[in-house]
Amino acid sequence: MPTQHLETDYLILGAGAMSMGFADVILTEDPTAQIVMVDRHANPGGHWNDAYPFVRLHQPAVYYGLVSTDLGQGGEDLSSGADLLAYYRDAMDRFVRTGRVRFLPMSEYQGDGRIVSTLSPDRVTTVTARRRIVDGTYNQVKVPSVCPPRYEVAPDVTVIPPNDLTQIRQPWERYVIVGAGKTGIDSILFLLDNGVDPDRIQWIMPNDAWLLDRAYMQPGIVLDTVVAMQQSIVDSSTIDDAFLQLERQQIVFRLDPGSLPAKWRCATVDRREFAGLCRVKDVVRMGRVQRIGDGEMQLDGGTVSVPSDTLFVDCSANGLVKIDPRPLYSEGRVTLQPVFMCQQTFSAALIAHLELLDMSDDRRNRICAPVPHPELVEDLPRALVVTSRNMLNCTRHMALWLRRCRLYLGHHAPPHRYLLSSAKLALMQRRAVASMDRFGRSAAVEPVDQREPVGAGV
């Protein structure tokens, strides 16, 4: 089969949520731009193709998806995985119908513009990108269904990914959830919602994490939450003090009131879900699982006996890992990364808009810096400070676009609250950087350029 050659403006690696968000803005704001997108999946949507059937968004749908297209019913709606796959499939179909997008599914990018089909290795496409190669795969989103357990499993032990929970046809005496992240939380809630007695559930929790109350992420008030989180950094002498202040305001939860969590990963639950999690009393805090077999689990901190009739649900994959940031813009390349804490799709849209502004890459990189997905409580100060700095810089350079972007947390706030929150963040910025240094996490964050008033043009 002869090699096909394509020329385009942007070659986008991956067709996941961030890649689709970038492409959406480019197509909307530059009517001449052409795009080739390549993905190993058969359909767009990235990790949503591999997620468990009962997965839902953890934050309101008004902040997720594409700038051009509403998602869900608005308000507190949490779209399902099936909804998201249909949403991105419809979006890709629209992209292709413009005649300016080529989608190459079931394909792998091998570098140097070479793309090979995963079904037919002699089907090769080479692509020349006139403007940029856009890497939408750098964040390495992983889900349990495509990641084998990271521990040894004896042959007579049944371990399933959460995807298989919906296929259970007979009850088990014991359900052991391995992993304390959002996938583990969702799996426990699925069992409880389907009538499993909490006494039959055991939760392997290598590390406790602070959980964010979804009530404080709702449209119209979420910027107030960001201000409160920034204020907690400014007011506190230690990072634990900052989280305890947020706990007193009921913005965050912890499952064990007797210990201080070491993790912060933006996991979001509502009060009903939190109450359900608290019903599970058999929580094993002995580190990570090393081996399962012979009627026991071997963990970092010791051994736990388990009944023979036990189903293990592996939720140990690290969905969003904390990775070292790279420059967003470099010669011939864009590397998609969050620029607002835990707001990936908005970040991709903003990066695309910034790409189309007439300025140098150095200037683009000064306006926005990556905000790696937080992992530990110590990551919160830097994530907040850089998020605030990016927000204030973008308010200077693209205030009207920012205010109109439906994915932006501030889009849904009344104008007076939006301006007030922006002003508060600007006033706190230097103190927040100083607090970060006091916590021992110097971040070398550039100061906000104050030559124009914050909120100008809103």
Q: Using 50, 70 and 90 to split pLDDT, how confident is the model at 436?
A: confident
Q: Using 50, 70 and 90 to split pLDDT, how confident is the model at 319?
A: low
More confident residue, 145 or 340: 340
Q: Does domain 4-140+322-367 have CATH number 3.50.50.60?
A: yes
Please state, in angstroms and rounded to a whole number, the distance separating the CA atoms of residues 282 and 182: 18
Q: 75-89, 201-215, 307-321, 439-453: which range is least confident on average?
A: 439-453
Structure tokens of 248?
Answer: 């007193």
Q: What share of the chain is helix, strand, coil (3-state, %, to 5)?
A: 35, 20, 40
Q: Do domains 4-140+322-367 and 144-208+254-314 have the same CATH topology?
A: yes
DSSP-derived secondary structure letter, 372: P
Return the pLDDT at 443.
Answer: 41
Return the pLDDT at 451.
Answer: 35
pLDDT above 80 (res 349): yes
* Inter-residue contact 135 to 333 (CB < 8 Å): yes
Structure tokens of 349?
Answer: 């849209």
> What phi and psi values does residue 288 have, to the nearest 5 degrees?
-85, 155
Please state, in angstroms and rounded to a whole number, the distance separating the CA atoms of residues 26 and 102: 14
DSSP-derived secondary structure letter, 248: H
* Inter-residue contact 340 to 391 (CB < 8 Å): yes
Average pLDDT on 394-414 reads 92
pLDDT digits (tens, 9 = 90+) for 262-276: 999 999 999 999 999
Q: Using 50, 70 and 90 to split pLDDT, how confident is the model at 455?
A: very low
Q: Tell which CATH classification among 2.40.170.20, 3.40.50.300, 3.50.50.60, 3.50.30.10 matches the domain 144-208+254-314.
A: 3.50.50.60
* Inter-residue contact 375 to 322 (CB < 8 Å): yes
Q: 109-123, 242-256, 272-286, 315-329: which range is least confident on average?
A: 315-329
Return the pLDDT at 447.
Answer: 45
Grouping H, G, I as helix, E, B as strand and the rest as coil, residue 396 is helix
pLDDT above 80 (res 452): no
Q: Using 50, 70 and 90 to split pLDDT, how confident is the model at 142?
A: confident
Q: Using 50, 70 and 90 to split pLDDT, how confident is the model at 456?
A: very low
pLDDT above 70 (res 385): yes
Structure tokens of 434?
Answer: 């100083």
Please tell me the pTM assigned to this model.
Answer: 0.93
pLDDT digits (tens, 9 = 90+) for 21-50: 999 999 999 999 999 999 999 999 999 999
Please state, in angstroms and rounded to a whole number, the distance separating the CA atoms of residues 368 and 257: 37
* Inter-residue contact 274 to 253 (CB < 8 Å): yes
Structure tokens of 211?
Answer: 């959980």
146 CB-near residues (< 8 Å, 6+ apart): 50, 317
Q: Tell me how far CA of residue 327 lies from CA of 37, 149, 242, 364, 392, in angstroms.
A: 21, 33, 30, 10, 19
Average pLDDT on 98-113 reads 97
Please state, in angstroms and rounded to a whole number, the distance separating the CA atoms of residues 25 and 335: 16
418 CB-near residues (< 8 Å, 6+ apart): 223, 403, 410, 455, 458
Return the pLDDT at 324.
Answer: 87
* Inter-residue contact 81 to 53 (CB < 8 Å): yes
Q: 54-58, 209-213, 269-273, 434-438: which range is least confident on average?
A: 434-438
* Inter-residue contact 147 to 133 (CB < 8 Å): no
Q: Using 50, 70 and 90 to split pLDDT, how confident is the model at 294?
A: confident
Average pLDDT on 94-102 reads 98
Return the pLDDT at 318.
Answer: 75
Return the pLDDT at 76.
Answer: 76
- Kindly list the domain boundaries of the chain, sorted by start residue: 4-140+322-367, 144-208+254-314, 219-252+374-458
Amino acid at 46: G
133 strand-pairing partners = 11, 333
* Inter-residue contact 116 to 134 (CB < 8 Å): no
Residue 341 falls in which region: left (phi positive, over 0), alpha (psi -120 to 50) or beta: beta
Q: 99-113, 236-250, 280-294, 413-427: which range is least confident on average?
A: 413-427
388 CB-near residues (< 8 Å, 6+ apart): 226, 230, 425, 428, 429, 432
pLDDT above 70 (res 440): no
* Inter-residue contact 115 to 125 (CB < 8 Å): yes
Average pLDDT, the chain: 92
